[in-house]
């Protein structure tokens, strides 16, 4: 009796240990599955690129998204709202294009800080699918170096002109030429500073383009609808062509008919003349 009880307790212990081990093995897998489900679609790809320290790379990202046509305008509005409110960091809307009807399409181009790129992509792709993603970079190192050198030269020249202007023995004609040259240098210096600011903004932010299009099923339905609508125009065009052809052939047919009547009349007269003789 005791041996049977011991065997029973042993079996129960083995079952409990096996169940615990199974739960321990399933827990990490479940956690991984939950994290995969919670991960936004936009963050599954590479993170938004950022120019490394000491470089002058201007990044551009192009995203294509497919979703229900009725949701496209709402997604474009959401991206605009997030950008205007600066909810995604430094952001500016550069271009928006929208097309309605049976073939809806939209695109929006923004310049946004690197940390806001994935946020905008996640907002734009809600309820849709990202079908393509492309990232490119333009190296502005040479352009930045050339502009810095130009600014340094203009600043040095401006400084020398100011020193020459402060001399007490400057003549009137020299003062006039000096003023003209200073105005030219200051104008060129302003352009160089504006160019520096533009290149710095391109390096510090990303140019993000989001393109929205309907799903393949909707595109197919739109194509069938277009074909049905175009069929009426095609039928009208063919009918108009036949009418034009008939209108052009009527005069010719009349001339041929008149010639046939004349020939027939002549032949009858000849037959009568022969029969009378």
Report the predicted TM-score, pTM, of the whole model to 2 decimal places.
Answer: 0.58
Sketch the domain layout of the chain as residue ranges: 51-232
β-strands 129-139, 57-67 pairing: antiparallel
Q: Tell me: pLDDT of 183 over 70.
A: yes
Q: How far apart are CA 213 and CA 64, in angstroms?
A: 8
Residue 87 CB neighbours (<10 A): 13
The answer to whether residue 81 scores a pLDDT higher than 50 is: yes
Residue 127: name the closest of 168, 66, 58 by CA: 66
Q: Which residues of 143-179 are buried (b: 16+ CB within 10 A; e: fewer)?
A: bbeebeebbeebeebbeebeeeeeeeeeeeeeeeebe
Question: What pLDDT does 223 receive?
Answer: 56
Query: What integer is the mean pLDDT of 22-32?
Result: 42
- List pLDDT tens digits, range 36-73: 333 344 444 456 667 676 788 999 999 999 999 999 99
d(CA 249, CA 254): 9
What is the reported pLDDT for 185? 92
Residue 213's nearest CA partner among 63, 113, 92 is 63
- 103 φ/ψ angles, rounded to the nearest 5 degrees: -120, 70
**Between these two residues, 9 and 201, which has the higher pLDDT value?**
201
């Amino acid at each position: 009796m005791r041996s049977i009880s011991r065997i029973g307790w042993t079996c129960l212990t083995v079952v409990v240990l096996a169940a615990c081990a199974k739960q321990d093995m399933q827990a990490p897998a479940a956690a991984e599955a939950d994290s995969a489900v919670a991960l936004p679609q936009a963050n599954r790809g590479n993170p938004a690129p950022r120019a490394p320290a000491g470089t002058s790379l201007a990044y551009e990202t192009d995203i294509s998204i497919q979703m229900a046509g009725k949701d496209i305008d709402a997604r474009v509005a959401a991206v605009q709202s997030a950008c205007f409110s600066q909810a995604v960091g430094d952001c500016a809307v550069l271009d928006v294009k929208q097309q309605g009807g049976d073939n809806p399409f939209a695109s929006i181009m923004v310049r946004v800080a690197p940390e806001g790129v994935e946020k905008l992509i996640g907002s734009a792709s809600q309820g849709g699918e990202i079908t393509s993603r492309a990232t490119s970079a333009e190296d502005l190192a040479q352009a930045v170096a050339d502009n810095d050198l130009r600014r340094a030269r203009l600043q040095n020249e401006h400084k020398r002109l100011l020193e020459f202007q402060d001399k007490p023995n400057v003549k009137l004609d020299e003062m006039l030429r000096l003023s003209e040259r200073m105005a030219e240098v200051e104008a060129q210096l302003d352009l160089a500073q504006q160019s520096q600011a533009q290149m710095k903004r391109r390096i510090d932010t990303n140019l993000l383009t989001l393109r929205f299009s309907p799903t393949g099923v909707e595109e197919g339905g739109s194509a069938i609808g277009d074909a049905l609508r175009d069929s009426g125009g095609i039928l009208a065009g063919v009918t108009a062509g036949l009418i034009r052809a008939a209108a052009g052939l009527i005069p010719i047919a009349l001339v041929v008919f008149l010639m046939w009547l004349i020939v027939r009349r002549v032949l009858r007269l000849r037959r009568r003349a022969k029969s009378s003789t």
